[in-house]
Amino acid sequence: MTESSAASLTSEPAPTGPETAAAKPAQSQKPRGLWADAWRDLRKRPTFLISMAIIVVLLVMSAFPQLFTSVDPNHMDLARSRQAPSAEAWFGYDTQGRDIFARSIYGARASIIVGVMATLLTVVIGSILGLIAGYFGGWLDNVLSRFSEIFLGLPFVLGAIVILTTLNPATEVPNAFKITSLVILSISLLSWPISMRIMRSAAISARNQDYVKAARALGAGPVRIILRHMLPNCLAPVLVYATIALGTFIALEATLSFLGLGLRSPVVSWGVMIADSRQYIQISPHLLAFPAAFLVVTVLAFVMLGDAVRDALDPKQK
């Protein structure tokens, strides 16, 4: 018997069977992080899928309203004033003879722009101040916290009245860009303390973690620690707040417009449409019903999205 044949007889056979086949994919599978695990969980939630479908339709509607209607939303025909819904105009006409369906489609753009931009500005301001206060602590944390409590103590409607009536008096000729910018600014200035408190709490918890202590021991500066290490691990609660706040800010825009403080003509938004129809609710309820329905569905979609994201990112649910 040769040495090679003897070696083949003495060598152990390669392990086979279902246990080995199951072990191979388990060894090659990479561990998922928080965001990957949350995304996998979100795809299984009906509330997330339904809300995302509604939001996608709304985003397409705001970006390309021509796909949904070919009617000019500002075209007036007083002969059709307050006509009821019909085959020609599905939602009827408003007091100035404008197509309510076309105005509802075009109104999505202004309402969503206000909600998205106000949310971004609110989260940016609150996150920056919250990270600084949470990381450094001490007197800086006390100063920033007391400063945020000043804005948090202001009633929203009262603060919006002061800002909008001062910077945008009703006697001036309406300018669409100026009005929209001021509404976004007023909502952000009165809402950022909430996101600041959320980010501050997450930053206080993160600064005592081992990865922050290790980065500090290796000589990393405060800016690098905050941006590279703390910020990615503190985004989850702020993201949940942002998704819910976006729908809330759209409703706040409608509230300000209803009070005559927010968007005004020539801007087309759901809040402006609701404000224009408030005197005719009893005799022509369709003037209010359809823009209000668009507003309710939009706010509900973002609230459902926020609830789904919160449940997916909450470690207590795992």
β strands within 48-144, DSSP E: none
Sort 289 into a burial class: Cβ within 10 Å, 0-12 / 13-18 / 19+. Answer: middle
* pLDDT given at position 87: 82
Query: For the chain, what is the radius of gyration of the CA atoms?
Result: 28
Q: Are 202 and 231 in contact (CB under 8 A)?
A: no
**HSE of 56 in the Cβ direction (CA atoms, 13 Å)?**
6
Q: How far is CA 213 from CA 12, 198, 210, in A?
A: 49, 22, 5
Q: What is the pLDDT of residue 126?
A: 92
Measured CA to CA, the distance from residue 29 to residue 243 in angstroms comes to 32
User: Mean pLDDT throughout 276-296?
Assistant: 85
**pLDDT tens readout for residues 106-159:** 988 888 999 999 999 999 999 999 999 988 888 998 999 999 988 888 888 888
In order of 231, 241, 253, the CA distances from 35 in angstroms are 14, 16, 31
The pLDDT confidence band at residue 219, using thresholds 50, 70 and 90, is: confident
- Give 5-36 pLDDT, tens digit per residue: 444 444 445 455 544 444 444 445 555 666 67
Ramachandran category for residue 137: left, alpha or beta (phi over 0 → left; psi -120 to 50 → alpha): left
Q: Mean pLDDT for the chain? A: 82
What is the pLDDT, as a whole number, of residue 71?
A: 85
Q: What is the pLDDT of residue 5?
A: 47
Q: What is the pLDDT at residue 173? A: 59
Read off the pLDDT of residues 30-65 as tens digits, 9 standing for 90 and up. Answer: 556 666 777 787 788 888 899 999 999 999 998 898
Residue 194 confidence (pLDDT) above 60: yes
> pLDDT at residue 311 above 60?
yes
Tell me the domains of the chain and their CATH numbers: 92-317 (1.10.3720.10)
Q: Confidence class of residue 81 from pLDDT cuts 50, 70 and 90? A: confident
pLDDT exceeds cutoff 60 at 93: yes
Most confident listed range (11-15, 150-154, 166-170, 199-203):
199-203
pTM value is: 0.81
